[in-house]
A and B are shown apart, each in its own frame.
Chain A
Amino acid sequence: MHDGSGRIAVQNLTKQFGTVPAVQNLSFAVEPGSVTGFLGPNGAGKTTTLRMLLGLVTPTSGAATINGRPYTQLGNPARVVGSVLENEGFHAKRTARNHLRVYAAAIGVPDQRVDEMLGLVGLASAADRPAGGYSLGMRQRLSLATALLGDPQVLVLDEPSNGLDPEGIAWLRGFLQSFAKQGRTVLVSSHLLSEVEQMIDQVVIVSAGMTRYYGPLEQLRASQQSRVLVQPADANALVTALREAGVGEVQPAHDGRVAVANANVQQIGDAAAKAGVAVYGMEEEKADLEQLFFQMTSPQYAGGPLPPQQPVPQQPVPQQPVPPQQQPPGPPQQPPGPPPGFQQGPQPGQPQNPYQAPGYQQPGQQGQQGWGGGQ
């Protein structure tokens, strides 16, 4: 049986679809207790990787394990791993409740869990409508409800915010963070860093089927040089002064300002004062993660080496994924108990359940009801 660690390990995973190299020698590990973002542009191989992890696609080579086991050896896998996949299907004529009842039976959880999950994701009032009439966002909620039926320890989500309204995205963020805080594992893919930036702790960045960065998001942020934009009276004099004082590196700036890297406001101010150059303003430019992400994943860098100042492109990976067989057996961690309020069904008296998703908007009626669950 699996080791109950809640750990996801992807080891030299490769998938070739005919002549298309969808995933190439990908390795990373996801630890419990954190939300890991799996980022990359469209076609980077995220979906293929997640589907290999879930046993839906057979790898050309390499292995992906959850709790030290391939998905198909987890026993009753939906009790260990919940998954929300892109392009997941629902029978158009089957109601959401019946959809969940089918899979509750397959997993072997009681039917009452169905109502609890419907309440949790805010679909209680739409539960008896056929899923074919659902909006994209409602389908995502139903997918999430299906994923959570088995009260899993690990949650894998492929672009879960697609189609969700801002309220839904905010709710999902909070939900995934609290899920991870209970010591569970969350792996969430996205093609937009900004969409997941606020909820992830760890990040795996892929492009063209290869790993570009893998490690804590904080480290990625810190590794990005911050610059100071200075507005001097005489730009040439300032540049000369900085050079003479050996402060920072001047970079080209376009708007008449001088951009200085590797120096702080104080150092620049002192150097300017010493040289008698008037400075009218200074602005610290924050590390722009989005731009960094774009650089790491943009096509011109695909396959080739990244610019030297880039943080950790291929190998300097902070946490080396441990192959499952080398993993110390260790005491199998108790599967985390149900979080408070997590398993509770929607109580009519408390619609403000903190885990309650905002409900979908009821068409043309009771606009302020808005928050699902409380019928």
Chain B
Amino acid sequence: MGNLIKAEMRKIVTTKSWWALLIPAFFASLLFALGWGAFTNSLANVLDSEDTLTVTRTLGIETGELPMGLLAIGHGINVGLLFAVILGVLAVAGEYSKKTITTTFLTAPNRPMALGAKMITYSIWGALYGLAVSAAASLGIAFVVDGARMPSSGQWLAVIGTSLLAGVLATLFGVGVGALWKSVAGSVVTLSIYMLLIENVWVFISYGLWQENVAWMGGVLPNGTLNGIVGAIGAEAFGAAGVRIPGLQDEAVWGLQFSAGAPGAFSWWASALIFFGWTMVVFVGGWLVNQKRDIT
């Protein structure tokens, strides 16, 4: 297995995909953290003052010192992680499109080991992407969020940690999708449209239609749970995820979660678990399909 992991590492570093995706990931996170940071910095005014008071009182923080930076950092990271998903897609689907999968399977003891080596290797790369995008998002909020509204160092560490975890899982999710559906273009386009648009629109519309009855929707779908891993840290700081603050209106809770890029998120670990479930679904599916697939 060590040999195969070394081979996978060499595959990645001998082509430019890893940095061709890391650079846009970094800047997407930076830009979204900048934009969302500027927006959330003034979110307190948008929020119902009654809610704001409830939140601040319960959390014991002064008005105007809400850690708005947390909402933005989560959003920035979540956008950047889409590129980690794409990197993952290249792991197997990329090999099918270049036809190198033949030699990869021929030089591995068996297909499960070839895929297992990819899983381990891409986990490491996913963590690296998680680290890079959390650094980019941190940089972004540092520019636009008032010092008093920046996350505490504990919160910031939690964000970095969950970002690493989300990076790993996001990449593995991509590996699974690419293994299941060997088309790079098909997987990347579909995943991008789904994660950027379809699921968000659906969650938003369904919330508009059925309100809190479907508030959980974003907390169980793939994009929502991936975003929830980091986003819930921000939302939790406001009492909008995990520990529920009494009196906080449901709409406001959802709004806060939405601002953190994680509408409906339960808590970071619940999001991580559910998203891990999604990852396993596609990964096991991809695994099974590749066991039988004829390489012609």
Residue positions of A touching B, CB distance < 8 A: 17, 47-48, 51, 54-58, 72, 74-78, 83, 85, 87-95, 98-99, 101-103, 105-108, 146, 150
Contacts and interface: CB of A to CB of B under 8 A. Distances in A.
Contacts of A88: 99, 102-103
A131 to B, nearest CB: 10
A56 B294 contact: yes
Contacts of B15: 91, 93-94
Q: Which of A90, A92, A105, A108 has the most CB of B within 10 A?
A: A105
A108 B117 CA distance: 14
A78 B296 CA distance: 19
Nearest to A88: B102
B292 A108 contact: no
Contacts of B295: 51, 56-57
Contacts of A54: 106
Contacts of B3: 105-108
Nearest to A102: B10
B244 interface: no
B49 interface: no
B99 A102 contact: no
5 contacts: A57-B294, A75-B109, A89-B103, A91-B15, A102-B11
B211 interface: no
A51 B296 contact: yes
B8 to A, nearest CB: 8
B105 interface: yes
A79 B11 CA distance: 20
Q: Which 8 A-B pairs have the closest CB atoms?
A: A89-B99, A106-B7, A98-B14, A56-B295, A105-B7, A106-B107, A105-B6, A108-B3
A67 to B, nearest CB: 15
B249 interface: no
A72 B109 CA distance: 6
B101 to A, nearest CB: 8
B296 A106 contact: no
Contacts of A74: 109
Contacts of B42: none
Contacts of B16: 93
A353 B104 CA distance: 31
Given A56-B294, A58-B294, A91-B100, A102 B106 contact: no
Contacts, number: 85
Contacts of A103: 7, 103, 107
Interface residues of B, number: 27
A76 B113 CA distance: 11
Nearest to A87: B99
A17 B292 CA distance: 13
Given A72-B109, A75-B109, A89-B98, A102 B292 contact: no
Contacts of B190: none
A76 B14 contact: no
A58 B292 contact: yes
A11 B4 CA distance: 31
Nearest to B117: A106
Nearest to B110: A72
Contacts of B7: 102-103, 105-106
A189 B291 CA distance: 27
A108 B107 CA distance: 10
A34 B103 CA distance: 25
A106 B294 contact: no
Nearest to B10: A102
Contacts of B109: 72, 74-77
A106 B292 contact: no
A310 to B, nearest CB: 32
Interface in B262-296: 292, 294-296
B4 to A, nearest CB: 6
B14 A102 contact: yes
A23 B99 CA distance: 23
Nearest to A109: B3
Given A98-B10, A105-B7, A105-B10, 9 more contacts: A51-B296, A56-B294, A88-B99, A88-B103, A89-B102, A91-B11, A92-B98, A94-B15, A106-B3
Nearest to A82: B106
B100 A56 contact: no
Contacts of B106: 54-56, 77-78, 83
Contacts of A106: 3-4, 6-7, 104, 107-108
Q: Which of B106, B109, B110 has the most CB of A within 10 A?
A: B106
A91 B10 CA distance: 13
B296 A56 contact: yes
Interface in B73-131: 98-111
Interface string B1-34: 0011011001100111000000000000000000
Nearest to B291: A58
A103 B3 CA distance: 9
Interface string B222-263: 000000000000000000000000000000000000000000
A101 B10 contact: yes
Contacts of B111: 72
Contacts of A76: 109
B195 to A, nearest CB: 27
Contacts of A89: 98-103
Q: Which of A56, A58, A87, A107 has the most CB of B within 10 A?
A: A56
A321 B16 CA distance: 49
A56 B107 contact: no
A74 B103 CA distance: 16
B5 to A, nearest CB: 9
Contacts of B4: 106
Interface in B145-201: none
A57 B110 CA distance: 13
A108 B10 CA distance: 13
Contacts of B6: 105-106
Given A94-B15, A98-B14, A101-B14, A56 B105 contact: yes
A211 to B, nearest CB: 21
Q: Which of B105, B107, B110 has the most CB of A within 10 A?
A: B107
